[in-house]
Chains A and B, each alone.
Chain A
């Protein structure tokens, strides 16, 4: 089976199971949105996939094979929630990105690749020498995305990547995610507690509650016709729709 698959994965901290027997697939070339409240285990699942927390049961496979991390290859890359903590303050953003590039690249090729990646996330390649301190939160998150892409991942894991950003900037990061996905055909595990955000970027949605997946399916189906009571509760709790400026223009020409 192609794509990233979790097969009966269990992660325990002490006696409590943060992730409890989870089976889930991120299909090739699709974005799977993972939603749930904080403490539901969604971030732990992501950290287990990239090897930051040990798995106690089950296995995580990529295209049917255990994930191969030899020779410095890392087919899974992750973008973190807080762009203020995910970039080394003492390294230029160019150096941060170059660090993740495959080892065999020559010096000139590395510089070209860094420029290309910055371009890809709509940052000026001339800014490769800038330090994180000189960038805004949204710009830092773009750098973090470029760095993840530098590892040439088969699957990108995005863990709450917009929740630390201001509302006015969230939109541009979400647009970037959709654009990159369409352009590069990336598979993505997109974690968020915000259903409206997940609805906007994901083709499939999985709902996690107390370490278990309670519902999974095509995004529009799950959101339009939720089967699990917890999913219904989540949907009911979303604040009502607010009038937008486009409505305004339409109603008062």
Chain B
């Protein structure tokens, strides 16, 4: 019901559903209302042309063709639906067979693969000849001809679900294959199947008209649209409408099914429509630049906002980020998922795509204002970006050397030979052994660690002034992590490159960085030198530090945890965003958001209770310490939760 309402939200959906309703209502009521009249023989009016009484004329027995076309809706639609049912059922059986039968089911995959190679119409004709003329044979023919396509779709969808962990979990739990199929697999592939069946029904309608037109389908005295077209064709020069009208009916009904399927597919695939206009109405913030750049400044960010359109109004996952990076400085951004740390990086690199929007009071890279105009060239040569997953960052079909060289021919105007030499040189610089040979290899021939280093090497093709590394060590092992960190350190030491290093792991940041920015709910809540991490002022920073086990963690005590759950960017509370999880929060915190202010030389913090001692962890069993949507808002503000900030479960 909800999906129907979603379909009806678009103009296409409204048109499709109304058309389908019209066709179905006609199919139900036309034979009841006009069935007898359409069969009434009138020998005085044989093969008459269009007239007031018979708008599109009559047939060889003087029966009114318009009424016959309208009445034929039922048989045409019913047969098409039955044929679709045959196709879907046969397709489902063939489609789930590989899942149920395991290895033996591979035969079905091959069979379907072969069957799909034949055009459906050819198969339909083939089956129609086997089953003989008449509507029963034609229904089977069209149904079976449509089955391979459905079977293939089913197999693909089932295979996708079967790989998910919840299917593995059910099977480990001793749930039988049949039960897994009906409880887990089918409900999760239902939507695309229904959409495709609807579109398939349109196709079946067309095929049926074709078979009847060729005389292989419905036989007299029954009649469907194909049959009417066939009868009308003999007199097409005398009365063209006799053949055209049923043709138009086929087109309308076929469109009704196809459009409904398309509309359903679209509304199920894409979430909300119509939010673009809401975002366009937002006024971009443009304030004149204030502070002049410091001499060794690489990057200056002032009041950075990133906004995306959302169902209930714009969502702002980055809400006013301020910081500067100087030459050779390594700054880490730490935060949970959803804290806005990666979006901050993407915004700086100008990689936020429509419909997202970036606003800032200052966004200056090497003295150039990035807020307006096209800075691809500057960014391409002076900024290097390293992503979490190096596998998806390289083109798997191109050799590594060529991919690196491309950067140099694009941005630095080098010849191909020069660029290649530079690529080999850079691969060697990121400590890839036998760089000359390695450059000729494809990405899949590199190990994970080598790919990550090659990615950094790609950034070094120019002479970058800033490297932004977004969780570059999250997908790799500790040993590779160490290699990547020491490589970044060496690059910084050699060329005084500034590095912005994003991670959710404070210990990695502590290893590499000079300064750490702690982000929470789209803001920087603390900015301090890594050497002073032990003097962190913000309760969130302190909780993060305590929550990570290290090789010295006391084995007899439970780990400290941060109660509650991270803030959803769509529902940022008023006041301090961390208040709900904070042991020090009071009424003031929940009303007024603290500003990021200098707390000590080189350190900033945004907290009303910065540096106040935390209450002792309370050693009491706490239920559901991550909070729930159900109990969240009320218990979060209650004094009991407030005092149990860095909470402990025994």
Contacts and interface: CB of A to CB of B under 8 A. Distances in A.
Contacts of A122: 621-625, 649
Given A52-B172, A99-B173, A249-B614, A80 B551 contact: no
A171 B165 contact: no
A124 to B, nearest CB: 5
A82 B166 CA distance: 10
Interface string A142-154: 0010011011000
Interface stretch (A10-18, A58-66, A191-199): A191-199
Given A52-B171, A122-B649, A124-B630, A166 B548 contact: no
Nearest to B187: A90
Nearest to A123: B624
A111 interface: no
A147 B169 contact: yes
A251 B479 contact: no
A74 B183 contact: no
B478 A167 contact: no
Interface in A188-209: 193-197, 199-200
Contacts of A194: 478
A241 B628 contact: no
Interface in A208-234: 223, 233-234
Interface in A87-120: 87-91, 96, 99-100
Nearest to B337: A166
Most-contacted residue by chain B among A81, A99, A233, A241 (CB, 10 A): A99
Interface residues of A, number: 80
A1 to B, nearest CB: 23
Given A77-B172, A86-B165, A239-B508, A195 B551 contact: yes
Contact of B174 (A72, A80, A85, A238): A72
Interface in B477-507: 477-482, 485, 504-507
Nearest to B185: A88
Interface string B146-188: 0000000000000000001110111111110000000110011
Interface stretch (B50-58, B271-279, B450-458, B555-563): B555-563
Contacts of A74: 172-174
B174 A100 contact: yes
Interface in B609-650: 613-614, 621-626, 628-631, 646, 648-650
A125 B62 CA distance: 74
Contacts of A174: 549, 559
A139 B626 contact: yes
Interface string A176-190: 101100000000000
A100 B510 contact: no
Contact of B561 (A134, A168, A233): A168
B550 A242 contact: yes
B479 A37 contact: yes
Interface stretch (B14-22, B110-118, B536-544): B536-544
Contact of A168 (B171, B551, B566): B566
A99 B170 contact: yes
B190 to A, nearest CB: 9
Contacts of B650: 175, 179
A171 B560 contact: yes
A130 B214 CA distance: 56
Most-contacted residue by chain B among A89, A144, A169 (CB, 10 A): A169
A139 B174 contact: no
A134 B561 CA distance: 21
Contact of B542 (A127, A150, A245): A245
B232 to A, nearest CB: 50
Contacts of B624: 122-124, 139
Nearest to A126: B630
B629 A244 contact: no
Nearest to A247: B534
Contacts of A138: 565, 626
Contacts of A243: 533-534, 545
A74 B175 CA distance: 10
Nearest to A84: B165
A2 interface: no
13 contacts: A77-B172, A78-B169, A86-B165, A167-B548, A168-B562, A179-B649, A179-B650, A197-B549, A237-B481, A243-B534, A243-B545, A244-B546, A248-B536
Interface of A: 37-39, 50-52, 69, 72-74, 76-78, 80-82, 85-91, 96, 99-100, 122-124, 126-127, 134-136, 138-139, 144, 147-148, 150-151, 166-172, 174-176, 178-179, 193-197, 199-200, 223, 233-249, 251-252
Given A85-B164, A139-B626, A243-B534, 10 more contacts: A74-B173, A86-B164, A86-B165, A171-B547, A195-B478, A235-B551, A239-B507, A239-B510, A244-B546, A251-B534
